[in-house]
Chain A
Amino acid sequence: MADYENFVRAELPRLLRYATMLTGEREQAADLVQDVLVKVYRRWSRISDADHPDRYVLRMVTNGYLSWRRSRAARVVAAGDLPDEARPGDFASDHALREDMWQRLARLPRRQRAVVVLRYYEQSPDAEIADLLGCAQGTVRAHAHRALATLRNGLTIEQMAQAKES
């Protein structure tokens, strides 16, 4: 299992960052990836024989996120106290702007958020996202379009200008 150890060690930071972007929360990301690691260990002989073990495991994390049923996940998403219309005074810094966007992400449906994370964080092409999520590319584009529309909603012109300048 030496290659399992090396594989996990090399891939784990990336998987945890990815899971954090999906879940938006450190503990959930840890739980999610921990579940996957246990599964990967049990199936390692098969996974290591896959064409791309890293992509296989990335898919496991994604599927784990999409099928997450723990009550805490719902509570965290529901607890986002995001004002519908953000106040200009809250955006004195780039940091505040990003925090606002982070909260907006928490309100997205999971599949939309997964698409956004894969597109803009993992920088995956739509075809790979479609393959990962098991849907058509058109569906990926539709999810992305809806997600961006939701995220954009409520951002003022001033905030967009700030984002452009930052």
Chain B
Amino acid sequence: MDELTEVEKLLKDTFTAHEHIAPDSDQVLADARERIQKRRAVLSRPLAVAAGVVVLTLAAVTVVLLNRPTDKAQVAGPVTTVQPTTSVSTESAIPELTMPYSLDWLPPGEVDYLVHRVNIGGTAEDPDTPIYGGEYMFNVTNNGQVLYVDVQHFGMSTPDEAAFKSGPGSPVTINGLHGVESSVSDGPGGYELYLTHPGGGSMYVGVSAENGTTAPAQLLIDTGRRIAEHIRFPGDTRVTPMFGLGELPSGMKMCTFDLEKGFDSPPGTAHPSTSYQLGTCDTQPTINIYTADERDVTGTAGQPVQGHETRYVDESGYLKLFVVDAVKGKSVAIAGSVPLADLYDIGNRLILPN
């Protein structure tokens, strides 16, 4: 590789190595909320009262919706070890995706997954080693108490490099592995743990109470530690995307997958959005494939793909091919700076719902 490419690789690794200095999500969100509330406070009193009622009503609706079972929800027993799996589509042969680690214990209550994602493309020198060996983000509702849980793998930062939301972390040993943990019961962050990952970097476990509420510190600590104790490598937790990739063209592999709750649909009823990135997983993935709304679809009518109409658009050499109404009312977009024929080729390899 030439010198320029080495700079690019160093750049990518430099970014990755600094991810752990990113600010704390909870703190930023809490600060933003405070600003929003202050702005409300300058409203006239009747309006402010009305706004407060609306907020309370919305909060109540949120809780109700989060309590509503979805097709992705599962109920974990309070004591017994459970095997987390997501529901498997029986209507097609869409291949499931395997998370690189599994959570063999989940807090008691109703679990509502927001995110399953993996970035398979890791450091530039070792693209097969994930940056994020995977991330689970979910809410657990139990007796009206909502806990936010986030578990993810940071491939390039050790527990001792961790930055906590409040105060210094303290050492902890879990399953014989060194870790650092921090906990607050009434501030942002809740319980956080960075535990040494056997393959490098650290595993992060964060457990906090729903925004605007508190939970006993010991509950958060016990929950976080127990989740960490039951992280299992390699994982066999499978998630079902809305569509599959099929056999990839030669030289191409899946660099990322990301399944998220559909934010543009009513909570509790949305199917997860699905996206993939394909490429060599070295510097830049070359192809993006994702579920898109019908209103995204633009361009010229193209050749049918698997019996579906298509549209394509050329944005200065960046081509998008839309396979219309391919997945439960949504189109699948295939995009990249490659010849249109390559996009058709990938489109014809996709595994779509029956």
A residues whose Cβ falls under 8 Å from a Cβ of B: 1-3, 5-10, 12-13, 16-17, 19-21, 26-27, 29-30, 33-34, 37-38, 41-42, 48-49, 51-54, 94-95, 97-98, 101-102, 105, 116-117, 119-121, 123, 125-128, 130-131, 136-137, 148, 151-152, 155, 160, 163-164, 166
Main secondary structure of the interface of A (DSSP, over half): helix
Q: Which residue of B lies closest to A153 (CB)?
A: B7
Quick one: given A37-B32, A98-B17, are A155 and B7 in contact (CB under 8 Å)?
A: yes
Tell me which residues across on chain B come within 8 A of A130, comparing CB atoms.
316
Q: Quick check: which of B69-77, B292-300, B345-353 contacts chain A, the rest being far away? A: B292-300
Tell me which residues across on chain B come within 8 A of A125, comparing CB atoms.
284, 286, 288, 318, 335-337
CA distance A73 to B117 in the complex (A): 33
Quick one: given A6-B263, A10-B260, are A30 and B27 in contact (CB under 8 Å)?
A: yes
Quick one: given A53-B264, A98-B13, are A26 and B22 in contact (CB under 8 Å)?
A: yes
CA distance A155 to B13 in the complex (A): 16
Interface CB pairs A-B, < 8 A, 13: A6-B263, A10-B115, A16-B28, A26-B23, A34-B32, A37-B28, A52-B296, A94-B13, A101-B11, A120-B284, A127-B316, A127-B317, A151-B7
Interface centre among A10, A42, A54, A117 (most CB of B within 10 A): A10
Q: Is the CB of A164 within 8 A of B1?
A: yes
A98 to chain B, nearest CB (A): 4
Q: Is the CB of A128 within 8 A of B318?
A: yes
Question: Is the C-beta of B10 less than 8 angstroms from some C-beta in chain A?
Answer: yes
CA distance A48 to B293 in the complex (A): 13
Q: Is the CB of A102 within 8 A of B296?
A: no
Q: Which listed residue (B7, B23, B337) contacts A20, Cβ 8 A?
A: B23
Tell me which residues across on chain B come within 8 A of A53, comparing CB atoms.
263-264
Q: What total of A-B pairs shows CB separation below 8 Å?
A: 165
Quick one: given A5-B62, A26-B21, are A33 and B264 in contact (CB under 8 Å)?
A: no
Tell me which residues across on chain A come within 8 A of B285, comparing CB atoms.
123
Tell me which residues across on chain A come within 8 A of B31, comparing CB atoms.
30, 34
**Range, interface on chain B:** 35 or more
Tell me which residues across on chain B come within 8 A of A97, comparing CB atoms.
10
Tell me which residues across on chain A come within 8 A of B315, comparing CB atoms.
127, 131
CA distance A41 to B18 in the complex (A): 28
Q: Which residue of A lies closest to B17 (CB)?
A: A98
Q: Which residue of A lies closest to B137 (CB)?
A: A10
B1 to chain A, nearest CB (A): 7
Q: Is the CB of A13 within 8 A of B263?
A: no
CA distance A120 to B266 in the complex (A): 34
**Chain B 40-58 near chain A by CB (<8 Å), digits 1 or 0:** 0000000000000000001
With A2-B58, A98-B17, A148-B4 known, 17 other A-B pairs at CB within 8 A are A2-B62, A13-B25, A21-B18, A33-B28, A53-B264, A97-B10, A123-B284, A125-B335, A126-B318, A128-B318, A130-B316, A136-B316, A152-B7, A160-B6, A163-B7, A163-B9, A164-B6
Tell me which residues across on chain B come within 8 A of A148, comparing CB atoms.
4, 7-8
